[in-house]
């Protein structure tokens, strides 16, 4: 099993790598097309501002490569948001894997920081994860409810915290920082039936 | 629903926990990694590591510690103490810290907040503010509360938020160490005038102090050190009590 964590200068890659280590899974950090294409699983972390992250993806040609991948890919936080068509943040054009536009929260403290419950869990990523499990989130922008939504949460409004479309998965929360439920989700992703 | 956060703070010197720590079943109470693991398992929502040695040579020790903590625990943690440059922050994040906390350096060079937020994102930039009341005015203090400034707490809080801080960690020097409760009036004023989350610090002595910091102080999170380290308050008990008071917590 070759797991690649995309290392494009916009994400806390070490935290994800350490979380996989705790599951006994080795991973490599890479932004190289060959390495990514030959991987069995790809994790796409993301932090910071949307447009500058997209800029970095373009530098490595990942904006074209990622939507073409056939292996399971897991976007985390900004990684998930960039899988949408667009984001209000910096008026950014995303990867266009999932239709819809990411928007800024308009109520409550911004960013939302902390542990929130997740609901309406669907699909293989949430196997053995109970409804209303707590996950750790830090974000100012949110993804709308779409047909690809596979989990929701509520922060003033109901919004998408997980998506699935074919081999593409995404979560708004940080599984690598979400204690046992997060660990379970990462394990589910690694051992998906494909 | 978003939960209120409970955050134990560990003071670190030369890579070891300082201040007496009185956990039962802990063979080495001075080992921050072991302590961090214990707190994570007890249900702490985040941890803060405050490096109080902060000399050149000890930074290396701190970075090694950060990496060990990141390898071990599966909840977020913040590292603070002596951070004064983009490079300091880069190294800590690279080794697995989730957030950094800056204090004096932000006052001395406010533009550092903008630079850090632009470079790494607001989500990992916590600005710590220590303040003390003089004639009814809350004045910001530096160097662990020793050096007064002319800055007004509320003005400074607004400025750090507009420069891109993701959270504010407010310590009342008047309450810190007293175990008489948090500075709820100031916390409430901060929390209601700010868009970003406020972490309350200084004054925790009993469980009801935490309840008050959330209900009256409107805080988003509460931080404490000695009440947790000496086992005066355990995190599971604290959270059950908070829940009884209809405060959303992660159980």
pLDDT in tens, A137-194: 999 999 999 999 999 999 999 999 999 999 999 999 999 999 999 999 999 999 999 8
Q: Do B74 and A179 form a contact (C-beta atoms < 8 A)?
A: yes
Interface test with A, best of B123, B126, B167, B196 (most A CBs within 10 A): B123
What pLDDT band is residue B110 in, cutting at 50, 70 and 90?
very high
Whether the predicted pLDDT of B223 surpasses 50? yes
Six-digit token string for B3 = 């939960």
pLDDT beyond 70 at B26: no
Binary contact (A14, B167; C-beta < 8 A)? no
Residue B47: other Cβ atoms inside 10 A: 23
Domains and CATH numbers, chain A: 3-190 (3.40.50.880)
Mean pLDDT of the residues in chain B: 92
Structure tokens at B182: 């948090």
pLDDT at B239 over 90: yes
Which of the residue ranges B22-36, B110-124, B199-213 would you say has the lowest mean pLDDT?
B22-36
The answer for residues whose C-beta is within 8 angstroms of residue B116's C-beta and 6 or more apart is: B86, B89, B100, B102, B125, B164
Question: What's the pLDDT at B16?
Answer: 84
**Nearest Cα residue to A137 out of A71, A187, A181, A97:** A181
Is the confidence metric ipTM above 0.90 for this complex? Answer: yes
Give the span between the Cα atoms of B67 and B65, in whole angstroms. Answer: 5
Distance from the Cα of B76 to chain A's closest Cα (Å) equals 6
Domains recognised in chain B with CATH numbers: 5-244 (3.20.20.70)
Mean pLDDT, rounded, for B200-224 = 97
What phi and psi values does residue B139 have, to the nearest 5 degrees? -110, 135
Partners of residue B79 on adjacent β-strands: B49, B100
Q: Quickly state the pLDDT bin for B166 (edges 50, 70, 90).
A: very high
How is A92-124 classified by DSSP, letter by letter?
EE---SEEEEEEE--SSSSSEEEEEEEBS--SG
- pLDDT confidence tier of residue B24, bands split at 50, 70 and 90: very low
Under an 8 A CB cutoff, do B74 and A21 touch?
Answer: no
Q: Bigger pLDDT: B178 or B219?
A: B219
Question: d(Cα A46, Cα B213) in Å, to the nearest integer?
Answer: 33
Residue of B nearest to A153 (CA): B1
- Contact list in B for residue A176 (CB cut-off 8 A) is 74
Record the tokens describing residue B135, joined without a space: 């004639």
pLDDT digits over B33-67, tens only?
999 999 999 999 999 999 987 666 677 889 999 99
The rounded percent of chain B whose pLDDT value lies above 70 is 94
Residue A142 backbone phi and psi in degrees, to 5: -135, 155
Q: Which of A126-135, B30-39, B202-211 has the lowest mean pLDDT?
A: B30-39
pLDDT score, position B57: 66
pLDDT at B29: 62
Average pLDDT over residues A122-131: 97
């Amino acid at each position: 099993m070759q797991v690649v964590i995309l290392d494009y200068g916009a994400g806390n890659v070490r935290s994800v790598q350490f979380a996989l280590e705790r599951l006994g899974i080795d991973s490599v950090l890479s932004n190289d097309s060959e390495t990514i294409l030959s991987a069995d699983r790809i994790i796409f972390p993301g932090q910071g501002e949307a447009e500058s992250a997209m800029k970095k993806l373009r530098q490595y040609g990942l904006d074209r490569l990622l939507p073409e991948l056939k292996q399971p890919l897991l976007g985390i936080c900004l990684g998930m948001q960039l899988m949408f068509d667009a984001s209000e943040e910096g008026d950014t054009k995303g990867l266009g894997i999932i239709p819809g536009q990411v928007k800024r929260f308009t109520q409550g403290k911004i960013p939302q920081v902390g542990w929130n419950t997740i609901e309406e869990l669907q699909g293989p990523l949430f196997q053995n994860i109970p409804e209303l499990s707590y996950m750790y989130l830090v974000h100012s922008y949110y993804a709308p409810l779409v047909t690809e939504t596979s989990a929701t949460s509520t922060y003033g409004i109901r919004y998408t915290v997980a998506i699935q479309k074919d081999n593409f998965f995404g979560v708004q929360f940080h599984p690598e920082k979400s204690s046992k439920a997060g660990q379970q989700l990462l394990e589910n992703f690694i051992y998906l039936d494909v | 629903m978003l939960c209120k956060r409970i955050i134990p703070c560990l003071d670190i010197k030369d890579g070891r926990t300082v201040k007496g720590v009185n956990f039962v079943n802990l063979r080495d109470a001075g080992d921050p990694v072991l302590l961090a693991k214990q707190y994570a398992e007890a249900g702490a929502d985040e941890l803060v590591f405050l490096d109080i040695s902060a000399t050149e040579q000890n930074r290396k020790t701190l970075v090694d510690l950060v990496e060990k903590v990141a390898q071990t625990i599966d909840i977020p943690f913040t590292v603070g103490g002596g951070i004064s440059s983009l490079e300091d922050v880069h190294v800590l994040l690279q080794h697995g810290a989730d957030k950094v906390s800056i204090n004096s350096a932000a006052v001395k060079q406010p533009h550092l907040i903008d630079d850090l937020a632009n470079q790494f994102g607001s989500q990992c930039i916590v600005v710590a503010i220590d303040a003390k009341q003089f004639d009814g005015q809350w004045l910001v203090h530096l160097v662990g509360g020793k050096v007064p400034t002319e800055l007004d707490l509320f003005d400074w809080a607004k400025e750090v938020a507009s420069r891109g801080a993701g959270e504010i960690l407010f310590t009342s020097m008047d309450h810190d160490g007293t175990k008489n409760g948090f500075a709820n009036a100031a916390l409430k004023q901060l929390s209601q005038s700010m868009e970003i989350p406020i972490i309350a610090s200084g004054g925790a002595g009993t469980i009801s102090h935490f309840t008050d910091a959330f209900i009256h102080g409107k805080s988003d999170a509460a931080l404490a050190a000695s009440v947790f380290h000496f086992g005066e308050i355990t995190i599971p008990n604290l959270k059950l009590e908070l829940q009884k008071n209809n405060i959303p917590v992660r159980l």
